Structure 1
Amino acid sequence: MSQTSQAKGRENMSGQDISSYPPHFVQTSDSEPVGRVSNSSSPIIDDWDPLPCIDFQQLDPEEIGKACRDWGMFRLVNHGIPVELYAELQEQAKKLLSLPFETKQAQLQSPMSYFWGTPALTPNGETLSQGVEIVYRMEGIFVLLNPLSQMSGEDPMLKSFRNLLEEYGKHMGRLARFLFEALGKNVGMDPESSQPYLSEATGLIRIYRYLQCPEVNKVEGLNAHTDSSVLSILNQDEVGGLQIFRDDKWIEIKPIANTLVVNVGDMLQAMSNDEYKSATHRVMNKQKERISVCYFVFPADEGVIQSTKYKPFTYKEFEGHVQQDLKTIGVKVGLQRFRL
């Protein structure tokens, strides 16, 4: 795309500089939005917060268990994540994602990597950005937390960003372990045999920038899906766009400052013998950009998951089937591959 056409795109998009957008998404205001268009009905939006709210400092096992059975998702308050830490992390992420498209591709290298158009689908950072027909209006930074300390020689901005990510990742690992142990007790998991069911070494962060769209709730930033993780812990800005599918309708989840949104992943559903439900959710683009930071944690690759509802399997086997299904039939089949 020429510099002239990029400049025209900037002038016609509410005055916002979009020169950092992937070229595929740069458009004029009178053109159709670029990205997957949703055909589903509008979400239910209420003034009240629909999600069950869990106080981390006064964790009630019955309350959190009910939330995971009924919703597969809950809001976490009093979680202990410093407000200043998240504000700095978000600001640094915005700066990095505002760099020119080519710069992001060149500078963000493993264990950090840049993705766009589709989510980073696997813990190794593999994406389908250039090889799929359906493109989602988003971009982001994929971060493997365990190898971060091995990075060296990066520029000052990346070094500062890495330090923030390491500190944030430690908080996330603490929260995930505590929540997992509480949920495991609820369904009678044996503490010793379930140790490999959650491995902090697998922890990763995806920072998403959902690009602005002229028409609200028309274009999908991320399609309807369940997470393959054990737990996913989301920290989002004030823009909104996250929706959960429940009772045959989409419900928009309000962004509330200083709270986290936690959802059950496929692995925890299998571990709990389907008592907990992996939440189906999506993100719709708004007229403003949206930044979210999501932490995912998985089982150890070779740890065998035992369940009364599924054949024994490892996460490595599960993810292998997911990737094969995406390549051959274009959709994630997930747990159904292993159901008894």
Structure 2
Amino acid sequence: MEKSILNEKIITEETTVPAKSKLSILNCIDLSSSNIHKSVSSLKQACLDSGFFYVVNHGISQEFMEEVFAQSKRFFDLPLEEKMKVLRNEKHRGYTPILDELLDPEKQINGDYKEGYYIGVEVPEGEVGSEKPFYGPNVWPSKDLLPGWRETMEKYHSEALVSKEVARIIALALDLDGDFFDKPEMLGEPIATLRLLHYEGARHISGSVSDTEKGIYGAGAHTDYGLITLLATDDVWGLQICKDKDANPQIWEAVAPQKGAFIVNLGDMLERWSNGIFRSTLHRVLGNGQERYSIAYFVEPSHECLVECLPSCKSENNPPKFPPIQCSTYLTQRYKDTHTDLSAYQKQMI
């Protein structure tokens, strides 16, 4: 019987899994471990197998995580008219309504049945860098409406940069120096984006129960865009992964939510850097009628970073599979492809 030990808890195939889903058994990386060789080996195996793994003992307390989730719920509990006052702007800061994002247009009849909130690197208007895409001032709810909300989210945005520790292990797994991704043009000045997510329950909207035959999804199948993503979730199931995105038919496996752990997955830029050795993994969210909250932290390199095949990942018999591309160019196009044009909301408000 397959099993994986996570914080002394054994996950087995007998774990309660949503109907018609196979449980994906993921490796677990302990950031407090002094055995770096074991961590590198375990992470490399996870990257080659599924592109998803758990990270524990990451240094962010469970008490604080619960506060972040509580504050997230406070925002999403607001009336829609209040949330629309902080609608996302052209820098992708602020609120994203239900159906705003369409991740899998070939299979979805509408957008994703989720709402979200983007928070990025805070760069005050007029300061160097504030004119760049994905940089600038954040959009915040009124302090009178949600006192302490901004402070909690800013603290979490800062603490989640523990993700750089994961990037160092990934570098070693690719036979690079451990500080490879720490360079200023890479994660020295990252585009680090926090996104709060809420999938509504059945008492709110009919689309909260997914139906793959009818093209209704909590979040359509997609890969993430950057280097890695750290995901914290509540205890409600919904996340599924497809280890081989080129398979036909695709095989989907459920990922178990784990208290105190981050679920980490690889993004498109890492696939490009590694020449497909480490692949960004297709994933989706299926709603089951229960309310579900999650918090994603997208770790992407600096705007000017040129993402191209690493020397250690190419050879005469294995030439680069992807052309070089600048990080901000790639991100801008992906966001444009998947989000509703803001002019559509402006017309609704007239």
SS at match of 1:170: helix
- Asked if structure 1 preserves the Cα contact closer than 8 Å seen for 2:49 and 2:243, the reply is no
Q: Show the counterpart of 1:167.
A: 155
Q: Show the counterpart of 1:210.
A: 199
User: Letter of the aligned partner of 1:98 in structure 2?
Assistant: D
SS at match of 1:207: strand
Deviation at 1:326, TM superposition (A): 5.5
Name the CA shift for 1:117/1:61 in 2 (closer, same or farther; >3 Å): same
Q: Show the counterpart of 2:163.
A: 176
User: Letter of the aligned partner of 1:276 in structure 2?
Assistant: F
1:22-41 matches, cutoff 5 A: none
Match of 2:330 among 312, 315, 318: 318
Distance in 1 of aligned mates of 2:172 and 2:26 = 22
Q: Show the counterpart of 2:3.
A: none
Q: Unmatched 5+ residue regions in structure 2?
A: 1-18, 125-135, 245-249, 315-319, 340-350
Distance in 1 of aligned mates of 2:258 and 2:336 = 37
Name the CA shift for 1:290/1:192 in 2 (closer, same or farther; >3 Å): closer
Distance in 2 of aligned mates of 1:77 and 1:92 = 23
Q: Show the counterpart of 1:221.
A: 218
- Asked if structure 1 preserves the Cα contact closer than 8 Å seen for 2:100 and 2:111, the reply is no
Q: Show the counterpart of 2:28.
A: 53
Name the CA shift for 1:140/1:325 in 2 (closer, same or farther; >3 Å): closer
Q: Show the counterpart of 1:117.
A: 98
Q: Show the counterpart of 1:145.
A: 121
Q: Unmatched 5+ residue regions in structure 1?
A: 1-41, 122-126, 328-340
Name the CA shift for 1:119/1:279 in 2 (closer, same or farther; >3 Å): farther
Instruction: Determine if the alignment matches structure 1 residue 98 to structure 2 residue 87.
Output: no
Q: Show the counterpart of 2:143.
A: 155
TM-score with structure 2 length normalisation? 0.70
Deviation at 1:284, TM superposition (A): 0.6
How many residues align structurally? Answer: 275
Q: Show the counterpart of 1:185.
A: 172
SS at match of 2:302: coil
SS at match of 1:249: coil
Q: Show the counterpart of 1:38.
A: none
SS at match of 2:197: strand
1:58-137 matches, cutoff 5 A: 58=33, 59=36, 60-107=39-86, 112-118=93-99, 134-137=110-113
Deviation at 1:142, TM superposition (A): 1.2
- Asked if structure 2 preserves the Cα contact closer than 8 Å seen for 1:200 and 1:297, the reply is no
Deviation at 1:230, TM superposition (A): 0.7
Name the CA shift for 1:230/1:208 in 2 (closer, same or farther; >3 Å): same
Name the CA shift for 1:201/1:320 in 2 (closer, same or farther; >3 Å): closer
Distance in 1 of aligned mates of 2:31 and 2:166 = 9
User: Letter of the aligned partner of 1:225 in structure 2?
Assistant: H
- Asked if structure 1 preserves the Cα contact closer than 8 Å seen for 2:307 and 2:324, the reply is yes
Deviation at 1:299, TM superposition (A): 1.3
User: Letter of the aligned partner of 1:322 in structure 2?
Assistant: R
Could you say what the CA RMSD is over the residues aligned between the two structures, in angstroms? 3.0
Deviation at 1:118, TM superposition (A): 4.3
Name the CA shift for 1:258/1:114 in 2 (closer, same or farther; >3 Å): same
Name the CA shift for 1:157/1:56 in 2 (closer, same or farther; >3 Å): farther
TM-score with structure 1 length normalisation? 0.72
Q: Show the counterpart of 2:278.
A: 276
SS at match of 1:322: helix
Distance in 1 of aligned mates of 2:225 and 2:111 = 20
